[in-house]
Amino acid sequence: MHKQEAERHRTEWHRRAGTARRRPRRLISPAVTVRLLRHISAPTTGKRPIGANPLTSRETELARLVARGCSNADIAAELFVSVGTVKTHVANIQAKLGVANRVGIAAWTWETGRATP
């Protein structure tokens, strides 16, 4: 069997099984995300109420680091915890805020005035 024919068979099998290969999602660089959020978020002047914070103080601290564009490894080093602990906190924050990803966390942090430039 030739390579092309074998690949065609694999592709057909995946299609029928519902496991067709999909393109990986392209993510925006954390640095670009931070610059964008800084640009679109109005700076807080103390006049806008922050509102209730559904996060613990530790989760808020972590959300600020996410909003700054820090990676999980960077956050782990900053907070003296494991990368696994950071991932757990990120997942808990996403659930509490009802957001799908780190960009949602960063957006919430900037929009509520909890992020610092």
CA torsion 84→89→90→96, rounded to 10°? 150
pTM of the model: 0.61
What is the number of helices (H) and of strands (E) in the chain?
6, 0
100 phi/psi in degrees, rounded to 5: -95, -20
Q: From first to last of its 117 residues, what are the pLDDT tens digits of the chain?
A: 566 666 666 666 666 655 445 554 555 666 666 666 666 655 544 444 456 789 999 999 999 999 998 999 999 999 999 999 999 999 999 999 999 999 999 999 988 888 876
Q: Coil, strand, or helix at residue 49?
A: coil
| C-alpha R_g of the chain | 20
